[in-house]
Amino acid sequence: MELIYILLFLILSPFIYYWLKPRCPSCNKKVFKTPEVLDRKYTDTTPLKKYGIHDRIYNTSCYSIDLKKWTCKCGHSWQRWVRN
């Protein structure tokens, strides 16, 4: 049974990898280069007490958003905010 899952993973993973890559808006081709990170915004979502400091009852939680820039072979480049 494990062999079937391993084979299924090995067969499907390249298709999923290809499907997740972004397309160029001008020429509609897939871009396989790693994007350039231009900016990063950090957002702290930990609950605060009434007077503005973090409450130690809760675990600290946060997320970051990156501004990424992709460049296609055709010369077109675009950027988008991507949440990590």
Measured from the Cβ of residue 71, the count of other Cβ atoms closer than 10 Å reads 15
Domain that holds residue 36: 23-83
Task: Judge whether 2 lies within some domain.
Answer: no
User: Can you give the pLDDT at residue 9?
Assistant: 94
Q: How far apart are CA 72 and CA 28, in angstroms?
A: 10
Task: Judge whether 12 lies within some domain.
Answer: no
The pair of structure tokens assigned to 34 is 């790693």
Task: Judge whether 11 lies within some domain.
Answer: no
Number of domain units in the chain: 1
Task: Judge whether 10 lies within some domain.
Answer: no
Q: Yes or no: say if 38 and 67 are a contact pair by the CB < 8 Å rule.
A: yes
Task: Judge whether 59 lies within some domain.
Answer: yes
Q: How far apart are CA 84 and CA 70, in angstroms?
A: 16
Task: Judge whether 46 lies within some domain.
Answer: yes
DSSP secondary-structure letter at 29?
-
Task: Judge whether 38 lies within some domain.
Answer: yes
Task: Judge residue 78's burial from the number of C-beta atoms within 10 Å of its C-beta, 0-12 exposed, 13-18 middle, 19 or more buried.
Answer: middle
Per-residue pLDDT tens digits for 12-67: 999 998 898 888 888 988 888 889 999 999 988 887 777 777 777 778 888 899 99
Task: Judge whether 5 lies within some domain.
Answer: no
